[in-house]
Amino acid sequence: MQSSRSRAFRAIQNILVVEDDIVDHMIMGRFFERSRLKVQVHAASSLQSARDALRLSKYDCVLVTMVLPDGSGLDLVRDMLSPECAYGTACIVVTDIDDEQTASDALKAGAQDHLVKGELNERTLARAVLYAVERWRLRAELAATRSKLEASIEQLEDANQALSALARVDPLTGLANRRAFDEALHRLVDEADRGRRFALILLDLDNFKHFNDTHGHDVGDELLRSFGRVMQEAGRAVDTAARYGGEEFALLLVDVTRVEAFEIADRLRKDTRAQLIDFGDVTASFGVGVFDPRRMKASTLVRKVDEALYTAKSLGRNRVMEISSASGRAEISAGPATKSRLRPISPDMFDPPSLTSEAVVRLPPYEIPA
């Protein structure tokens, strides 16, 4: 203990006394000369001269009187605690009278100690300086530790956010994964109870297993990645494009009508064939449905749209089917006219389709079964 204290005494080398009374300054200088502290004592007689001295040189401790010609000694204490201050160091406030309020003000301002001039001697002065320097050192270490801890917490929060995001992303395609899709679907169902409208598209790459078996899994993965990019381009920022599983994908469309949802699906069908031409004649089949909060649950919507998707496949693939009505009849279909096996419908029941290589059939509005 004695050796440790001796090292601490030797570590203190420069003291700045900020005092406008020359007699008080000389008295403190004498105390330091007779103490165990072997230090150089420097003088400043005003706030401004003290600030100048602190900017130019490093001091282990500053003793400052309360009353100075150009302000209060507490102003200097507050300066040294400011984040912008480049000369912070241990500080002791020295006063003429023993006043509890003054001592409290000094400590609240950030001083490490408060001394009364009439009670000073070489022993109390040396001990006060030693303890003040140690408190300042511990304070600086605590601040540095807190800063590192805050930085670590921030890094941990960033890492957690990144992990949370990764837990919701399909690593192959970069789309939302099944977990993220389920969360988005249930959120939209809750919002639908408050009047928000949304639609679900489920789609499946046609003959993907045959493609995978023929060209290998690496090429199959590249096809899925490329299709993921097509999906991302098809949706808006508010929509959710997801890999539903294997070669099946999903798109949740917010604030769309039945017709708009169908048109988006059909446009995606055409884009699939056009943008994946490097892989051959790649097509996809689609099921589409608009959520009706009065008659559906989330699972009902998914089941019906999935049924529409597999109806599209059974009718020859590369087409869009909307969820069926109470009669079980397909309401909307798009795909190669030559392969359509839909039951004939009289012309006065729908708007004429555009004259393209694909047939588009639209029926009047329908009631969705529970």
CA angle 330, 331, 335 (to 5 degrees): 75
Nearest Cα residue to 91 out of 44, 56, 123: 44
Q: Using CA atoms, how far apart are residues 33 and 31, in angstroms rounded to an integer?
A: 5
Whole-Å CA distances, 185 to 82, 190, 320: 51, 9, 21
Say whether 122 is catalytic.
no
Catalytic residue among 19, 247, 322, 358: 247
The answer to whether the beta carbons of residues 321 and 308 sit under 8 Å apart is yes
Query: Three-state DSSP class for 352?
Result: coil
- The Cβ-side half-sphere exposure at 129, using a 13 Å CA radius, reads 31
The answer to whether the beta carbons of residues 309 and 202 sit under 8 Å apart is yes
Question: Distance between alpha carbon 224 and the CA centroid of its chain, in Å?
Answer: 29
Count CB atoms within 10 A of the CB of residue 254.
Answer: 17
Q: Using CA atoms, how far apart are residues 32 and 36, in angstroms rounded to an integer?
A: 8
The DSSP call for residue 318 is: S
Catalytic residue numbers read: 247
